[in-house]
Amino acid sequence: MKFVVKLGGAGLETPVLLEGSMRAIAELVRDGNQVAVVHGGGVQLTKTLKALGKQSEFINGLRVTDAETRDTALMVLAGKVNKSLVAALGALGQPAVGMSGGDGLIFRARKKRTTPDLGYVGEIAASDPRWIEAIWKLGGVPVLSSMALGFDGEYYNVNADEMAAACAIACRADALVFLTDVPGVRGNDGEVMRWLSIDQIAEMAKSAIISGGMLPKLGACREALLNGVKRVRILPAEAAGFLPDLCSARVAHGTEVMVA
């Protein structure tokens, strides 16, 4: 089976959660699956920007990205964070190849048109999964940071959830899993919803039941499901050990997002 696993938040920051996620991914590969990892790194980027004396600003869960912020994102996401994940998998004996979306022109971005303008924030306009498939054929795990090249030659900061969905669609993945620092999607009663239909997302957003970073995440879930990805699940990072069982056993963690 083909899995795309998106890592972000506390799953990247907390050593025990990161190790658990890496072990689960390595186990998936040992079981004969093909796995691609897409990662964010917003917390690390915010810390680096703060150290440089730059304040971070977000609108609807997306980072306002001027040229300086974009260059810092390229350094942090495609550099330090990406290579630390490659090293973590390597420590488990699992070969991994770290890339940005610009390498091999795997993903091409266009500027995201919003009001107000977000700067160098992009959305995926085209995908070419050949390099991902080449790494899979050699038994490796492609690890992709959420930066992509625009047709104008500029790098754009792409929301990692949106890139994960684009990756899953391009690779015809069987499952897309978001490992997060929240237990799942909470409903109006504050309880984690075990199942969520994409038809419910718009109303929940309108009622502000979901907001902030959960908005682009659920938008990415919807996009993936409507474009052929069979299963989409939001799973807390502490439950990453259940990843290898996701398609063969009942997993009572997180939220399963479904078409209906």
Does the pLDDT value for residue 249 go beyond 80?
Answer: no
Rounded to whole angstroms, how far apart are CA atoms 59 and 57?
A: 7
Q: What is the pTM of this model?
A: 0.94
User: For residue 61, what pLDDT is reported?
Assistant: 79
Does residue 116 contact residue 135 with C-beta atoms inside 8 Å? no
Does residue 29 contact residue 89 with C-beta atoms inside 8 Å? no
The percentage of residues in the chain with a pLDDT greater than 70, rounded to a whole number, is 98
**Which contacts of 130-134 are long-range, i.e. CB under 8 A and separated by 24 or more positions?**
130/104, 131/99, 131/103, 131/104, 131/106, 132/36, 132/106, 132/167, 132/170, 132/171, 133/171
Known binder of ligand: residue 41? Answer: yes
Model confidence over 222-235: pLDDT tens digits? 999 999 999 999 99
Query: What is the full DSSP assignment across 36-78?
Result: EEEE--HHHHHHHHHHTT----EETTEE-B-HHHHHHHHHIII
Model confidence over 92-132: pLDDT tens digits? 999 999 999 999 999 999 999 998 999 999 999 999 999 99
Known binder of ligand: residue 122? Answer: no
Does the pLDDT value for residue 188 go beyond 90?
Answer: no
CATH of domain 2-258: 3.40.1160.10
Does the pLDDT value for residue 60 go beyond 90?
Answer: no
Locate the domains of the chain by residue range: 2-258
Known binder of ligand: residue 130? Answer: no
Known binder of ligand: residue 82? Answer: no
Q: Helix, strand, coil % (nearest 5) of the chain? A: 40, 25, 30
Does residue 201 contact residue 222 with C-beta atoms inside 8 Å? yes
